[in-house]
Every structure is written in C-alpha cells, then in structure tokens.
Amino acid sequence: MEQQKRMPRIIRENQILLIVMVLVFFLMSALNGQRFFALDNIASMAYQLPILGCLAMGMMVAMLSGGINLAIIATANFNGIVIALVLQQIMGPENMAAAPLSVSLLAIAIAFVFSMLVGVINGLFISLLKIPDILVTLGTMTIIAGLNVALTSGYTISGFPKEILALGNGHLFGIPSSLLIFIFGCAVCSLLLNRTQFGSSLYMMGSNPKAARFSNINIVKVSVQQYMLSSFFAVLTSLVMIGQLNSVKASYADSYLLVSILAGFLGNVNPFGGFGKVCGMVISVIILQFISSGLNLMSVDSFMITAMWGMIIVVVVVIKGSWPKIAQVLKEKKTQQG
C-alpha cells in the first residue's frame, strides 16, 4: 500500500490500463514479428492515432454528464465540407489549392463557427427541453449527415491548399503535425476539466444531477459549453482528415463512431457520468491503435475488425458490470477465511 502511494498519480490511477497496453503491444508484436516494430508502421500509427484520439476525446466530454454525442463524426465531415465550399466560393472549384493563407484561415474560421453552432444546438435542446442526449444527437447526426450529402451531392471534394494539408500531413521537429494537434487538444481538455469551474460543474452534473441543480450550477450554460467542447474535437478531427486525405466526403470515418464509444468504456469513463480522465482516454486510444494496426498488418478484413470492436465493447461492459459483484464475493471469502 505504501509503495502504491509513492507511484505517480497518473500511473496509480491507470495501472490496469497500462498493463493491458503492454500486453496488447507484446501480443501484436508476437503476431506480426518485426513488421510491428518497423519505422513505417510506427509512423503510420502516429498518423492514424489522432483521428480516433480526437473523436474519442469529444465523445468522452459528452459522456461525462452521462450523455453521448452521436453527431460528432457528422459534425467533423460537415466542418470539412464547409471549408471546401468556402474555398470554392472564393477561389473557384479549379483554384482551391491556390488559395492564400488568409483565405484558408477565413474558411477554417467560418467552418469553426458552424461546428460550434451544432454544439450550441445540442446543448440547448438537451438542457432546456430535457430531451435525452442520445435522441438529440441522433437527430442532429441525421440532419447533418443528410445536409453533408446534399451539399456534396454524395461526391468527394479534393484539392486543398498546402497550408491546410500541412495540419494533417506535415511535421514539426520530426513529429507529425496531426499528433501535435491531438496533444494540443488533450492539453486543452485536461485544463478545462481539471482547472476550471466548468470542469467541476460538469463532473458534478454527471455524478449527482440533483445536487448540481441545487448548487447554483447553470445547467444550460454548462451543457452548451460541454457540447461546444465536443464539437471542438470534431473540428480538430476534420482538419487532420483533410490534411491526410486531401479531400472531404459526407461519409468519411463513419466506422469510428463505434470505436470512439469503445475508447470511452475502455478508458474508465463512467457511461452514467461523473468520472473520466484525459490520461485514461489517451491510454485506451493507444491500445485500440495497437490492435487496429496489428490486425491490419495481418490483413484481417475491415468488416471483421468492425465486428471485433463490437465484441470488445460487449466484453468490457460485461466485465465492468460484473466486477463489483466478483469483488464482493472475493471480499466475503477473504473475511470468512480470516
């Protein structure tokens, strides 16, 4: 017990997750041999991780109140489509890639405002009308997904300026810019959750909604801020995807919705609200990236990988649901033996 207290708090709180991460790493290494350690594979994981990581962080923020944001991927695609349409409107469809930095920043700013508006609408509907999060975000997801298809006619829009592409495909001091964006998003999220009134209010709303209502917490304001922060991570995801794919489409990253929810369960986020830490989410995203990259190296079918994510969710939920009962039985047996 004394030795545990001397451990750094992050390690102490995430011992099981860290053990799982090490086990998964060695398992995927054993299954793939030297290919898993290859520099190309490590670089590939560094590029891929920020997309799942940003989506998972946005999902975690929504889950802290016991909610969920099913519209996060639709919002990310919407953000990218708005950027593309603004660039086309100003520069013309053929000259998007030649847009100067000022025009690129304007397009990003306009898209950012629209994405934040999605968060505001979600927060207002949930807090003012008392509609469950899952229904509100399912509705906004359907509306935005339909709007995305209508705006693009179902086609892919490509040919972005080099400044925007650098956000997802560039390097800074040898580190992928997409990974730096993810680290920046994690730092902002950790700061807001652990060092601000908004963070403490959000945790209270999730752990004890009745106490939150009687504690002079502005539920509407916190809910709006919560879903705006979730949309902020959708914006980061969008910028990374544009940089890596040099295109936008209504259906990009649809399969990541399931995985982002799984990352929350795996990262010790309470689905009923009140608990969840950025460090736990980061570790869970790394674990899932190890699994994804390892299975891809083994040429496992992508649909089978998606089915596997679903199976992992079921296993994690069952284990977490039954663990308190198992722990109680073990405690009673220990007491009887003593």
pLDDT band at 196 (very low <50, low <70, confident <90, very high): very high
pLDDT greater than 70 at residue 316: yes
Mean pLDDT for 242-250 is 93
Specify whether the CB–CB gap between 243 and 166 falls below 8 A: yes
Mean pLDDT for 73-100 is 94
What is the Cα–Cα distance from 180 to 69, expressed in whole angstroms? 24
pLDDT greater than 60 at residue 327: no
Q: At what angle do helices 39-63 and 177-195 cross, to 10 degrees?
A: 30
Mean pLDDT for 97-117 is 95
Mean pLDDT for 125-145 is 95
pLDDT greater than 90 at residue 83: yes
What is the Cα–Cα distance from 162 to 170, expressed in whole angstroms? 10
Specify whether the CB–CB gap between 104 and 228 falls below 8 A: no
Which amino acid is residue 140, in one-letter code?
T
Secondary structure of residue 175 in the 3-state scheme: strand
pLDDT greater than 50 at residue 2: no
Specify whether the CB–CB gap between 71 and 140 falls below 8 A: yes
What is the Cα–Cα distance from 255 to 162, expressed in whole angstroms? 27
Domain boundaries of the chain, sorted by first residue: 2-300, 303-338
Top CATH class of 2-300 equals mainly alpha
pLDDT band at 338 (very low <50, low <70, confident <90, very high): low
Query: Residues 19-42: pLDDT tens digits?
Result: 888 888 898 999 888 888 888 888
Residue 6 buriedness (CB in 10 A; 0-12 / 13-18 / 19+) = exposed
Whether the model pTM is above 0.95: no
- 16 vs 267, residue with greater confidence: 267
pLDDT greater than 90 at residue 212: no
Mean pLDDT for 236-261 is 92
Q: How much is the mean pLDDT over the chain?
A: 88
At residue 69, the pLDDT reads: 95
Nearest-5° Cα angle at 50, 17 to 262: 45
Distances from the Cα of 282 to the Cα of 130, 157, 261, 267, 331, angstroms: 31, 31, 13, 8, 32
Specify whether the CB–CB gap between 219 and 58 falls below 8 A: no
Tokens read off for 111: 């898209």
Query: Residues 147-170: pLDDT tens digits?
Result: 999 999 989 999 999 999 999 988
Between strands 157-158 and 247-248, the pairing is antiparallel
At residue 324, the pLDDT reads: 62
Judged by phi (left if over 0) then psi (alpha if -120 to 50, else beta), residue 248 lies in beta
pLDDT greater than 90 at residue 139: yes
